[in-house]
């Protein structure tokens, strides 16, 4: 089938590559010539395991192309996926300007019946806005739905960064929202044909009305964010009452009604989805005269959770951190990605620098993106920026540091050489935002270990001068 993907960001690029992998003829368009140049030169503007190899195969087979030619992209695809960004506005609502601009272009250049698929995460009612914009453009061209018909479909993505290719190729569900009319019936047949390869073993597609499909995406992310904030809130109480949140997690996760997924305490969630989707759904509620009190709390807990590690550092080492150096392992918001959007590391680094500390940071893949975003974050704080050093290895980050801070749970951090770690640090202190190690084992090795919601074993610090 001939498919067009509007937007070569995270969702668009994964969608385009995977649809090309199973044999479709895919045209990816973007208004950013830099991205297109990178892609046409064999590069990938994002880090996602398996994506570059898939793009190399599909490009060599002639099943995927990249261009800034909007007119050609509209003429190419019978199915037009809109996969552009929906960044949050100041009030937390999703900014739909890029979605509606893509819709306007489809209406402007449409050359026949089009299935217009909202793949971007959008608020309830967006499909109707897209429909109105396309109709306006067709009307301006003197065309009607009889000659240039279309149907707007909601097909939200459920991709985890770091596992997106596998999630797309082996989905647990495919949600499709379609109008119950003649155009919708045509669209349903095309979407069914497109997704047949993903339903070979059993039917994974869930058909519903458009507004319910739009709602489903936000509801899914809101539920996952709620589980994270719930455990983080409990972890802070566990710190106070002396309970072990890991034991609690195992105790409640063993209940099949609850399960273990997204029940790990940590230093807060980030990324491109949970923060903005929670905000957008809460804003949608406010606009409709409702208050989603649970989600308001979820957001507040997550905001405060990003300060928990800094609070532990201040309690251990004092408010004034001048002259102190901290090693940070992990900068991206989660493993297997270079995404720094809403990453807890940004808040932690800014807070440490503001207290006079020096920071030595390392991440396996997010170094370039970290440099870019922190230069923007600290543009008006040049003195602080001068005390930030991004280094090439995890061992280099430790040299001369007063303590190690773990922010992202990359695999290479899970079983380090603790002997080397102790010798490289000025004092053997770890602040672990992902609970990678066992407190008792750390104490046995003479490491002063501070985790999230886990018992802290006091060591004799009479020799470290702290």
Last residue of a domain, one of 303, 329, 354: 303
- Based on the domain organization, do 356 and 286 belong to the same domain? no
**Start-to-end CA span in the chain (Å):** 66
Report the CATH number at residue 410.
3.40.50.720
**pLDDT tens digits along 31-80:** 999 999 999 999 999 999 999 999 999 999 999 999 999 999 999 999 99
| Confidence check: pLDDT of 148 > 80 | no
- Token pair in block for residue 120: 């971007």
Residue ranges of the annotated binding site for NAD(+) are 30, 35, 86, 121, 161, 276, 341
pTM: 0.91
Residue 463 predicted with pLDDT over 70 = no
User: Of 303, 337, 353, which residue constitutes the final position of a domain?
Assistant: 303
414-425 residue pLDDT tens: 999 999 999 999
Q: State the total domains in the chain.
A: 3
Work out the angle between the directed axes of helices 51-60 and 10-21 (0-180°, nearest 10): 50
**465 domain-assigned:** no
Query: Is 192 found in the same domain as 74?
Result: yes
Range(s) of the domain holding residue 159? 2-208
User: Could you report the per-residue pLDDT of 210-269, keeping only the tens digit for each?
Assistant: 999 999 999 999 999 999 999 999 999 999 999 999 999 999 999 999 999 999 999 999
Residues 38 and 119 in one domain: yes
CA distances from 426 to 327, 447, 464 (A): 11, 12, 8
Same domain, 183 and 234: no
Which conformational region is residue 242 in: left (phi greater than 0), alpha (psi within -120 to 50 degrees), or beta?
Answer: left
Binding residues: 30, 35, 86, 121, 158-161, 217, 262-266, 270, 276, 334, 341
Going by the annotation, the residues of the binding site for substrate are 158-161, 217, 262-266, 270, 334
The catalytically annotated residue of 18, 28, 267, 273 is: 273
Whole-number Cα distances in Å, 209 to 84, 149, 181? 22, 19, 11
Domain edge (last residue) among 255, 281, 303: 303
Are 78 and 112 contained in the same domain?
A: yes
> Residue 18 catalytic?
no
Residue pointed to by tokens 């972890």: 235
DSSP 263: -
Assess if residue 462 is contained within a domain: no
- φ/ψ (deg, to 5) at 331: -120, -35
Helix (H, G, I), strand (E, B) or coil at 327: strand
């Amino acid at each position: 089938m001939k498919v067009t993907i509007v937007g070569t960001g995270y969702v668009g690029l994964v969608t385009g590559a995977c649809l090309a992998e199973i044999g479709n003829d895919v045209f990816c368009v973007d208004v950013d010539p830099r991205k297109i140049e990178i892609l046409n030169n064999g590069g990938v503007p994002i880090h996602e395991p398996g994506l570059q190899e898939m793009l190399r195969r599909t490009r060599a087979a002639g099943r995927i192309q990249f261009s800034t030619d909007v007119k050609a992209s509209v003429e190419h695809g019978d199915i037009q996926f809109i996969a552009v960004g929906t960044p949050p506005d100041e009030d937390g609502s999703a900014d739909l300007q890029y979605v509606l601009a893509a819709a306007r272009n489809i209406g402007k250049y449409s050359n026949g019946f089009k299935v217009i698929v909202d793949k971007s995460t959008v608020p309830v009612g967006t499909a109707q806005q897209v429909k109105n914009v396309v109709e306006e453009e067709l009307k301006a061209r003197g065309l009607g739905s009889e000659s240039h018909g279309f149907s707007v479909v909601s097909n939200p993505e459920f991709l985890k960064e770091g596992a997106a290719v596998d999630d797309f190729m082996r989905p647990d569900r495919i949600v499709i929202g379609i109008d119950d009319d003649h155009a919708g019936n045509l669209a349903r047949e095309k979407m069914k044909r497109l997704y047949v390869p993903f339903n070979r073993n059993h039917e994974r597609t869930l058909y519903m009305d458009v507004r319910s499909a739009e709602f489903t995406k936000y509801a899914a992310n809101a539920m996952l964010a709620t589980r994270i904030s719930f455990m983080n809130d409990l972890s802070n109480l566990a710190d106070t009452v002396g309970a072990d949140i890991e034991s609690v997690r195992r105790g409640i996760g063993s209940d099949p009604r609850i399960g273990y997924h997204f029940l790990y305490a940590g230093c807060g969630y980030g990324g491109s989805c949970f923060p903005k989707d929670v905000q957008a759904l809460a804003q949608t509620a406010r606009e409709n005269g409702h208050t989603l009190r649970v989600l308001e709390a979820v957001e507040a807990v997550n905001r405060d959770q990003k300060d928990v590690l800094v609070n532990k550092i201040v309690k251990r080492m004092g408010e004034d951190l001048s002259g102190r150096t901290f090693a940070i392992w992990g900068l991206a918001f989660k493993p297997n990605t270079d995404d720094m959007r809403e990453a807890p590391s940004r808040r932690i680094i800014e807070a440490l620098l503001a207290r006079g500390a020096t920071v030595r940071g390392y991440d396996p893949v997010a170094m370039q993106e970290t440099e870019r975003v922190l230069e923007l974050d600290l543009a008006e704080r040049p003195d602080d920026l001068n005390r930030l050093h991004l280094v090439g290895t995890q061992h280099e980050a430790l040299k001369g540091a007063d303590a190690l801070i773990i922010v992202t749970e990359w695999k290479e951090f899970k079983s380090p050489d603790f002997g080397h770690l102790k010798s490289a640090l000025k004092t053997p202190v770890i602040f672990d935002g992902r609970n990678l190690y066992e407190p008792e084992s750390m104490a046995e090795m003479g490491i002063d270990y501070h985790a999230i919601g886990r018992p802290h074993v006091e060591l004799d610090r009479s020799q470290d001068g702290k």
